Chain A
Amino acid sequence: EVQLVESGGGLVQPGGSLRLSCAASGFTFRNYWMHWVRQVPGKGLVWLSGIKSDGSDTIYADSVKGRFTMSRDNTGNTLYLQMDNLRADDSALYYCIKELSQDFDYWGQGTLVTVSS
């Protein structure tokens, strides 16, 4: 059974940093692109970033480019999102997602990030 379990969310002050993690199991992690998507409760989904299966390439939405860094550990089956210079509008539920041929076939339950003073 595919499982994606996010962690690392919490309350942080504006300008601060957080590192999200996503523990993956139930599939061959090193073979798949992975992504992060966020959602303000009650609002739509927003794609943030993706990372190639071997970690050699990453892509980002303009809204987070230069502030967020995505990485992965294929030995430990873990995905990361380093978030720096956080703003109030970064407050959201952050989902870790597995990609299958340009579709997002498995989602974690999300970790909540709140940016507030």
Chain B
Amino acid sequence: QSALTQPRSVSGSPGQSVTISCTGTSSDVGGRNFVSWYQQHPGEAPKLIICDVTERPSGVPDRFSGSRSGNTAFLTISGLQPEDEADYHCCSHAGTYTSGYVFGSGTTVTVL
């Protein structure tokens, strides 16, 4: 199972919007409604910020949003804040019961 493809890094100034892509295949990202995104600050465990492609768990700021087009999922951070500087990982169910899950390669967001 190959990792989903994410850009290595993106950056933006405070208040700007940034979008991270996560490209898979029709078997995973494009074919399942189980795409999630995780935020990871240095030295910390990942935290769920988007589930089921577009849903935000309780407590996650509404500046984080998820979407999908074809085999690519997107995480958009609107109104970038300094505390949003972190690594972001996408994840998808891999398509069949026995194939489990596949993560993206990870994207570092830098707030300029």
Contact = CB atoms under 8 A, between A and B. Distances in A.
Interface in B69-112: 89, 91, 93, 97-106
A79 B18 CA distance: 38
Contact of B103 (A46, A50, A103): A46
B45 A104 contact: no
Contacts of B1: 61-62
Interface residues of A, number: 24
B28 to A, nearest CB: 12
Contact of A44 (B45, B57, B89, B99): B89
Given A45-B38, A104-B36, A95 B45 contact: yes
Contacts, number: 62
Contact of A107 (B36, B45, B101): B45
Nearest to B98: A59
B107 to A, nearest CB: 10
A50 B106 contact: no
Nearest to A45: B103
Interface in A12-57: 35, 37, 43-47, 49-50
B46 interface: yes
Given A46-B3, A50-B101, A104-B36, 19 more contacts: A44-B89, A44-B106, A45-B91, A45-B103, A45-B106, A46-B103, A47-B91, A47-B100, A47-B101, A59-B97, A59-B99, A61-B100, A100-B51, A101-B34, A102-B52, A103-B51, A105-B48, A105-B51, A108-B45
Interface of B: 1, 3, 34, 36, 38, 45-48, 51-52, 57, 89, 91, 93, 97-106
